[in-house]
Structure 1
């Protein structure tokens, strides 16, 4: 059923009031705080209809109602004013974020800290995903007669290195030939592109050069797979205690238990849609522990390729307009910072 304009106005007013107060909202409160041009009795009737339609919930026998997950979804999709997306980071914050940073994951960790401070919610972020990153450069360097150092750099700034042994005494010149060959064949590819058949094809081609890379390819792939142990970062975890909903100790413990389970958090982030901005509200979360929470995430990218996520988790009674704007703005700032960071 489509809601008429008056019902939408009443619902919007209730959501705005509840976000601020965390207290059930009655018709008299709406009548006093919002000039809707109708009586308190009319507002009460509209609230009763909205409850029947599943947009409001009466938590106890008082006259007040609170918004349901369905109401917040309508609010996010239809009722919010347009987002004012711009840079959220001052030049000083940008400098602070990149100062002394040598690894992209450190930069992401710093961004999560800033996001928690800006929103007053718990922030979360995942470092760049190797499966979504392309190989930028491979370098093979001799350590001694039997050891070679393989250095791998991706387009998302991930740097991996590994030392491995070889039965062949490969000269420095031949290592350069192999390095050039591997860069020619692997540059721009991701781990998902380099399967068994691809490796076998490379080995056959290298056979013509009178030595084998069969011992090198597994090391390169293992370096990629090791990096797939992605970092996940949190900040402002105790911010949740600032909200009256979490004065309930059992509820707070449930939230903290979920946050401590990094596998579940990673699964939630990785298996959710990698869209521009994603808002998951209350019961839409697949994990029961956070079905009183909303999760707002945005992706960050390099050269248009998504490599990670950053966002916040907090009570469903969050200020969606402010938080969505902050998360989206920070993701755009991150895109710019990472691009500049990697071009230096």
Structure 2
């Protein structure tokens, strides 16, 4: 049995109806709502065939049918040519909103996930650029209190990483300035991934340097280097996590709690993104996801790039019953906007 034109029309009508209403679809509904030119009895027979083929399922004996993951995959694949080149109709407006008050990458990502969540009404996230390949430009130690110092690590493309340090004894401001200058001089140009390998050499160089050595530096130097080497490389911004509570699929409190716990866990996101492909746009539907908590969800991610190189991802997690056309074009458009803004404001090539 194959998907002929009539079956395809009926399947698409059922998917569209279920996306709109979240209610099982019967033959009479399809007959009345969509002009398919066939009787309810014919539609009913075709729906039975579609169920046998794995595209539909009947949740209850007396109810209509709902699409399966296989149906959604067919639907998305059929849309693919249109989807991959589509852009949100308000792309210019989207970019303007995202760019407002986005002087730093941190604000850019926060704005992006907020707008994406508002436009799709689903949970949105951005995985910030991984720092392993980032080059260190400067280290700055800023006093916060007598026993607390904020270490700022300024990286290539003006990405700033912060670490709060606790001191055993206070260090005068002028000493902190000297330590900052010494560290910046020794570590300038190194990549973050090199630090663990070179930290012992840098410590040794500073120990034997008469110009910069001081009791304060010698006391905290090993601690500083250890903290830099241990910096968390994964930074995820998210928004609209509780939007899932507005969806009928998550009326079950236990199910909703499991979902929220999963998306709030950084390590979960790390594992999740390990299974996304290398393509600029990736769509995982229902059972295609590797995690049980997302078996009723679709995950749509798009990449953003700096100087043509992939540096992060933005995406949406929502029910399999989502408006794929609109959601995919919005995700893709916002990822393109992020790439444009980053290349315009942070690209070394543009600054030179």
TM-score, normalised with respect to structure 1: 0.77
Q: CA deviation at 1:283?
A: 1.4
Local SS of the residue matching 1:130: coil
Q: CA deviation at 1:276?
A: 1.0
C-alpha distance after superposition, 1:291-321 (max 9, x if no partner): 1111111111111121211111111101111
User: CA RMSD, aligned part only?
Assistant: 3.9
C-alpha distance after superposition, 1:54-92 (max 9, x if no partner): 11000001251000011111111124671322574445x
On the 8 A contact 2:95/2:334 being kept in 1, the answer is no
For the residues of structure 2 that align with 1:79 and 1:160, how far apart are their CA atoms?
A: 41
Relative distance call for 1:313 and 1:139 in structure 2 (3 A) is closer
C-alpha distance after superposition, 1:161-194 (max 9, x if no partner): 78999xxxxxx9xx89x9789656x4xx662x77
For the residues of structure 1 that align with 2:134 and 2:266, how far apart are their CA atoms?
A: 26
Moved more, 79-88 or 286-295: 79-88
Hey, what does 1:35 align to over in structure 2?
A: 35
Moved more, 96-105 or 50-59: 96-105
Relative distance call for 1:140 and 1:217 in structure 2 (3 A) is farther
For the residues of structure 2 that align with 1:161 and 1:40, how far apart are their CA atoms?
A: 64
Moved more, 17-26 or 298-307: 298-307
Hey, what does 1:276 align to over in structure 2?
A: 280
For the residues of structure 2 that align with 1:28 and 1:275, how far apart are their CA atoms?
A: 41
For the residues of structure 2 that align with 1:326 and 1:253, how far apart are their CA atoms?
A: 27
For the residues of structure 2 that align with 1:340 and 1:300, how far apart are their CA atoms?
A: 13
Give 2:332's match in structure 1, choosing from 314, 328, 331: 328
On the 8 A contact 1:12/1:75 being kept in 2, the answer is yes
Give 1:260's match in structure 2, choosing from 258, 264, 270: 264
For the residues of structure 1 that align with 2:81 and 2:8, how far apart are their CA atoms?
A: 13
Matched, 1:226 2:231: yes
Hey, what does 2:246 align to over in structure 1?
A: 242
Hey, what does 1:107 align to over in structure 2?
A: 108
Structure 1 regions of 5+ residues with no counterpart?
A: 142-148, 166-171, 204-208
How many matched pairs? 325
Hey, what does 1:44 align to over in structure 2?
A: 44
Alignment of 1:151-300 (within 5 A): 153-160=154-161, 186=190, 191=193, 196=197, 223=228, 225-228=230-233, 230-300=234-304
TM-score, normalised with respect to structure 2: 0.75
C-alpha distance after superposition, 1:233-284 (max 9, x if no partner): 2211222122222223233223223233332133212443243111111112
